[in-house]
Structure 1
Amino acid sequence: PFLLTDDVAGGNNLHWPVFHRCGNRNLTHAFRKHVKLKKQHEIIRLGMVIELLAKKCECLHVLDVGSGQGHLARLLALDKKLGVATVDLVGSHLTSAQRFDHQAALHVQKKKTMEIEADARDPSCRLPRHVELEISMATTPAELEQVAEKAWGRAQSSVENFVLVGLHTCGNLGPSMIQLFADSPAARGLVSVGCCYMKLNEDKCEGIGRKMAYPMSSHVHALGDVAALSYQAREVACHAFEVYTRKLKESPLALKIHCYRALLEKLIVDRYKDQRHCGLGSVKHAASLTFSQYARKALEKFPLPLPDEDLDSPELELAMNEWQCVVVFYSLRLLLAPVIESLLLVDRMLYLWDCRIPSCLLPLFDPSLSPRNLVLLAFKEGSHSDKPHVG
């Protein structure tokens, strides 16, 4: 029933451009500026899918949730000619997104001055409209549609239908937008790419429906403890399996970083038991450093003191001789990453089917460039006013 899968996966309507890591010319300068190669790869492919889904849903508008600096939104508005609104946290990236928008618009105007001027009143040619709002499990469909009203200037009773998009939505943001899509009549299509699964909150949201970020579907919920995922399991699901495989082959010595990290976390937990999941700074060229050098760099933003005698203990250097054992253990854990991520994403897909909304998962990106490469696609056929409640 989900013909879009054939269109995208089979390439019936799409001709995927060749992506060159050394410099991508499939995007004009307007859309490459300020954008890393990984993000270029993502937005060019996702932009094509969103354009196809918008046509299938007969939508001229896109609502981009967690849009960051607006690279995808900019491409959709200026290249795909869609009316685009973005939703992000208050003050998160609004200033830089607007600055980049105007830079891109100036570049486009230089190349197509007559076209832009002739069609200046067409809403599909406007720059993205940026709206500040925190999307959460408690956000209502009415609040989402108010964003559309604010962005596109429509009375709430006649909000334009739109495609709801989220590229690498962190933690609860992914499940929140999926539930909003299911509940909002104006949201006709969904394009969702998740990330940061360890930040999922498995507690129920208080209020009507008592929604949960995981499990979402009735099937996975019925599995009970069998499908329970710890913080550690969800964190493993975020790792880059293909990238790690390449490192094992090309530069195994660089993987000493895993032993460094494990030793440092042990030191922290020995002193501060409540800091088991603390954030540590990334350290460049860690394999060329001693453990104490690495630890001091990684702890630069750590809020609590760690004594020098802990970091300079001779026992730590002896433990470093076992770094290969840590790499073996880490590799075995990583073999489970695709299984755990599949469970999380299939749960989201099944939730939509619970709501009688056709959906599918599609591997869209090159996983060696973009490890979170699975895209959840969905669209509504006909009326969903009779959608069953899924608790």
Structure 2
Amino acid sequence: MDLALDLCLTYSWLFDCKMTDIFIRRPWEKAPHDWTDILCAMSYIELRDLVKGKVHSEWPVTLQAFSKSLSQTRGCLTKQWDSSITLSPSLQKGMSEKKRHEVRRMASLVGELCKEDGCNLIGDIGAGLGYLGQTLMSTFKLNVLGFELEDGNCQNWRMQRATSNNLQTRCLRVDTSSECTQILRDSFRQHHSSVSATDICADSKVQQGSFSEQAGENFTPSSSSSFRETDECRVCMVGLHCCGDLTPATLHQFHTIEECKTLVCLGCCYHRLSLDAHFGNFPMSSQFKSWYQDSASQHGCSINHLALRLACQEPKSRWLARTDGEMEKHCEHVAFRAVLELYSHRKGFNWHKKHRRLVGLSAFSSFETYIDAVLERVGDVEGLSISMVKTALSDTYTECKEFFSYIRWYDALQVMLQELLEFVILRDRQQYLREKGYLCQLVSLFDDKISPRSIAIIAQKT
């Protein structure tokens, strides 16, 4: 994976610019000189081929090498889990389609791992509204103790109903502190001692799914011990979409707390990770830190928050599913916003929004309509008259129009790098746990067209 990290930094110009800053930063000026013309001339069919790794002989050799390098470096990095459980109508209540998909798949995997590893307590980190916890209790008869930062979620009517079913949730900021470790350890021990042993061999209603060969080998839990009933507190720590620093904290606590035997964790919001001169929460593993220092020094750049933001954007499966019309509309929306950003950048001010969203989708029918909608929803524009601002924005639009086609291919190249950046983050976390001596695999758990952050980190203590 040192090659993957090196590849990311080699093409840092693809992540070092937000799409709405494209006319400010002009990243195409850093692209290989023989790429621009061919990329601008590509149809959406050809751009899709590029994203899929299907190279054309007439493309520049360096562009073909870029596409091939991404395909070879990514390889087949994950195993696949396609089984799911059936949710009763009462459990489904309040769940979105996305949440139902996630809970059905994750509960199936967690239930199987608990059976294999003899876990008798679930520690649900970032329990939210308790959807996963209630499902695990109802389907697998597991004891669940949830931890949630937001007090509002703990007091939610759904959580109150869940509490009546013995699903307990405690408000706690899970971090890497020794104080948090002590609270978690004491909570697990107290909760385990207060409930009777549960038979987790009950009928799980698992519906066996099919495994996709393209997505990797079938995932099989790799525990060194078969299931047994025990008085020992054995915790399966789970986290469904642990945001930002919550995933590294969860991995740390899994390692630190002896009672934690199994881990199933999906992270999200990588751009919220803490980064500093001493790495912060990326990279985590000693091996990746060594590789990262060498590569960053060689290339004179680093994996910054812009790279982490790109890593948590939509996967290529969603991008490829767009129609030509949807792609064209997306690029037009980006262009309008980028023109606005260039104008405000030159004037040295920020737009003061009166509403949470600057404009709605209906405002993008034309640039004139877009500007009218923007000016209606912002405060004073540095004392300038509306007519002067409209004229200046129209001139800026005309100036940038010749570069609108650049957005199409820059967006496509970012989609290609997104997958690699995310896998670099995930493989670093996998390596961190392996360095601690644990069995650890990356498992494709969700359909990424439904749930973009679909790769779970599975760890088991031997």
**Shorter-chain TM-score range:** 0.7 to 0.9
Tell me which amino acid in the other structure corresponds to 1:330. D
Match of 1:218 in 2: 286
Residue in structure 1 matched with residue 139 of structure 2 by the alignment: 79
Separation (CA, whole Å) in 2 of partners of 1:300 and 1:225:
50
Alpha-carbon displacement from aligned partner over 1:352-378 (angstroms, at most 9, x marks no partner): 010001100011111111111111001
* Aligned pairs (5 A) from 1:264-279: 264-270=340-346
2:453 match: secondary structure = coil
Alignment correspondent of 2:307: 233
Aligned to 1:195: 268
- After superposition, residues 65-144 of structure 1 pair within 5 angstroms as 65-96=125-156, 99-101=157-159, 126-138=165-177, 140-144=180-184
Distance 1:288 1:192, change over 3 A: same
Contact 1:163 1:189 in 2 (8 A): yes
- Letter of the 2:143 partner, please give it: G
Cα deviation, 1:12-32, whole Å, max 9, x if unaligned, reads: xx8446xxxxxxxx4221122
Residue 243 (structure 1) shift: 1.2
Q: Is the 8 A contact 1:202 1:212 kept in 2?
A: yes
Equivalences for 1:1-391 in 2 at 5 Å?
A: 15-16=83-84, 26-96=86-156, 99-101=157-159, 126-138=165-177, 140-149=180-189, 151-152=191-192, 160-203=233-276, 212-223=280-291, 224=293, 226=295, 228-240=302-314, 241-249=316-324, 251-255=326-330, 256-270=332-346, 281=357, 284-285=360-361, 288-291=364-367, 294=370, 306=381, 310=389, 313-318=393-398, 319=400, 322-381=403-462
Cα drift, residue 184 of structure 1: 0.9
- The whole-number CA distance in structure 1 between the counterparts of 2:368 and 2:260 is 53
Higher relative contact order (CA 8 A, sep 6+): 2
| TM-score, structure 1 as length reference | 0.74
Return the alpha-carbon distance in structure 2 between the equivalents of residues 39 and 358 of structure 1: 28
Between the aligned partners of 2:306 and 2:158, the Cα distance in structure 1 is 37
For the aligned residue pairs, the C-alpha RMSD in angstroms reads: 3.5
Quick one: which amino acid aligns to residue 290 of structure 2?
A: A
Amino acid at match of 1:356: G
How many residues are paired up? 332
- Letter matched to residue 229 of structure 1: I
Q: CA deviation at 1:46?
A: 0.5
- 3-state SS of paired residue (1:67): coil
Contact (CA 8 Å) 1:198, 1:231: kept in 2 or not? yes
Q: CA deviation at 1:316?
A: 4.2
Q: Distance in 2 between matches of 1:300 and 1:75?
A: 47
Q: Distance in 2 between matches of 1:373 and 1:298?
A: 36
* Deviation readout 1:268-298 (Å, 9 max, x if unpaired): 54456899xxx97486535744447657878
- Partner Cα separation in structure 1 for residue 126 and residue 342 of structure 2: 34
Contact 2:84 2:107 in 1 (8 A): no
Q: What is the rounded CA distance, in whole Å, between the counterparts of 1:56 and 1:190 in structure 2?
A: 13
How far is 1:266 from its partner?
Answer: 3.6
* Paired letter, 1:138: S
Describe the shift of the 1:335–1:306 C-alpha distance in structure 2 as closer, same or farther (beyond 3 A).
Answer: farther
Q: Are 2:244 and 2:269, in contact at CA under 8 Å, matched by a contact in 1? A: yes
- 1:191 touches 1:376 (CA, 8 Å); kept in 2? yes
* Distance apart, 1:329 and its partner CA: 1.1
- Give the direction of change, closer, same or farther, for the CA distance of 1:101–1:288 in structure 2 (3 Å limit): same
**What is the TM-score when the length of structure 2 is the normalising length?**
0.63
SS in 2 for 1:84: strand
Cα deviation, residue 202, structure 1 = 1.7
**Structure label with greater radius of gyration:** 2
Distance 1:182 1:330 in 2: 39
For the Cα contact (< 8 Å) 1:148–1:160, is it kept in 2? Answer: yes
| Counterpart Cα distance in 2 of 1:375 and 1:337 | 17
What's the % identity of the aligned pairs?
23
Shift of 1:79: 2.2
Give 1:154 deviation, angstroms. Answer: 5.4
Pick closer, same or farther for the CA change 1:177–1:285 going to 2, 3 Å: same
In structure 1, C-alpha distance between the alignment counterparts of 2:168 and 2:438, rounded to whole Å: 28
Give the Å deviation of 1:185: 0.3
Q: Tell me, in whole angstroms, the C-alpha distance in 1 between the residues paired with 2:279 and 2:185.
A: 20
Quote the Cα distance in structure 2 between the aligned partners of 1:150 and 1:292: 63
Q: Relative to 1, partners in 2 of residues 1:298 and 1:69: Cα closer, same or farther, differing over 3 Å?
A: farther
SS at match of 2:410: helix
Amino acid in structure 2 at the alignment position of 1:314: S
Q: 2-side partners of 1:282 and 1:71: how far apart?
A: 33
Partner of 2:205: none
- Is the contact between residue 66 and residue 87 of structure 1 (CA under 8 Å) also seen in structure 2? yes
Structure 2 alignment gaps of length 5 or more: 1-77, 196-230, 297-301
Amino acid aligned to 1:259: A
Per-residue deviation, 1:323: 3.3
1:280–1:299 CA contact under 8 A, matched in 2: no
Q: What residue ranges of structure 1 are gaps of 5+ in the alignment? A: 1-7, 18-25, 107-125, 205-209, 382-391
